[in-house]
Amino acid sequence: MFRVHSAFIELLTQHGLADCDSLFDTQNGTALRRLKNRENWRLDLADHGQPRTLYLKKHHVRTLGTRLRARLNFAAPSTPARMEAEQTERLARLGVPTMTVAAYGERLRADGTLIAAFLTDELSGFEQLDLFLPRRFKRSNEPDLRTLVARVAAVAARLHRLGFNHRDFYTCHFFIHETHPGEFAVNLIDLQRVQRWPALLRRRWIVKDLAQLAYSSHPRLIGSSARLRFFLAYLGRTRLDQRAKRFARSVLRRAASLEKKHGPYRDWSSSPQCCH
């Protein structure tokens, strides 16, 4: 199975990347991260004489189960690449700003190796929220920071009101572009683990999401006032009633537990923890 967005067929064909094997096997790029069963790559391609950057995730696994499937000529099982692509396209249709899926596919090779590829267009001009904050802002009370907090809250609220939760809701998965001075576009990435739960089971997962966001927020810039503004914007209120306060306390307690368990989210002068 291999699917290509119509806007990328010509580009990928020109570079010999218009099938699953070719895309998975390509070494014509920069390897950003290599894990046991996954690699992240940056591809810089020429598009009618202009540079075009795309990001590629390669997944591969070979187990007893995949070898048996190959021997019995069974179809490939669903892979993380397909799940992320389908979730990304689904949430984009529902109005959650995210990435453009250029191509994705999966194939079970004869030797039992299950390969998959997930290719997205670059979010040109965007930067991870955890890196954008300390570069753009010096003080926690800047009006533009309040605007950005409200925009992040709006994206979070949109996702959750649609019934989804992210499960990796850290600031490095929010990408920010200042389109005009004091105006911000906020896009959400890394949707592989997104879930959708019935309303009765949803609160626990929403608290987990927002705790990850609070835990990973810049401690000097996102203090108690900014957090209050976030919850007001997220809940669409001008003040917090007792129920809303209990909800906010649940989020902040869980964020504190994450910090106690893992330590500070990151050294704010270090390299990024997350990878596009």
Name the DSSP letter for residue 8. G
151 within 8 A of 186, measured Cβ to Cβ: yes
Amino acid at 144: D
- Measured between alpha carbons, how far is residue 217 from residues 41, 100, 185, 220 in Å? 26, 26, 18, 9
Domains of the chain: 2-121 (3.30.200.20), 127-262 (1.10.510.10)
Segment (H or E) for 121: strand 113-121
Q: What is the pLDDT of residues 38-74, one digit of tens each?
A: 999 999 999 999 999 999 999 999 999 999 999 999 9
- The whole-angstrom separation of Cα 164 and Cα 254 is 19
Q: What is the pLDDT of residues 189-231, one digit of tens each?
A: 999 999 998 888 899 999 999 999 999 999 999 999 999 999 9
Is 80 exceeded by the pLDDT of residue 158? Answer: yes
Q: Which residue has the tokens 């799940």?
A: 83
Q: Where are the alpha helices (DSSP H) in the chain?
A: 9-14, 20-25, 64-71, 80-93, 129-136, 143-161, 199-215, 224-235, 242-262
Strands of the 174-180 sheet, one edge to the other: 127-128, 174-180, 183-188
User: pTM for the whole thing?
Assistant: 0.92
90 within 8 A of 113, measured Cβ to Cβ: no
Percentage with pLDDT > 90 across the chain: 93
The partner residues of 56 in beta bridges, in order of sequence, read 41, 119
128 within 8 A of 65, measured Cβ to Cβ: no
Is 90 exceeded by the pLDDT of residue 272? Answer: no
81 within 8 A of 57, measured Cβ to Cβ: yes
CB burial string 162-173: b at 16+ within 10 A, e below: eebbbeebbbbb
Q: Which residue has the tokens 């950057």?
A: 53
Q: What is the pLDDT of residues 231-257, one digit of tens each?
A: 999 999 999 999 999 999 999 999 999
- The whole-angstrom separation of Cα 171 and Cα 177 is 14
Cβ within 8 Å of residue 44, ≥6 positions away: 29, 30, 51, 52, 53
- The whole-angstrom separation of Cα 247 and Cα 259 is 19
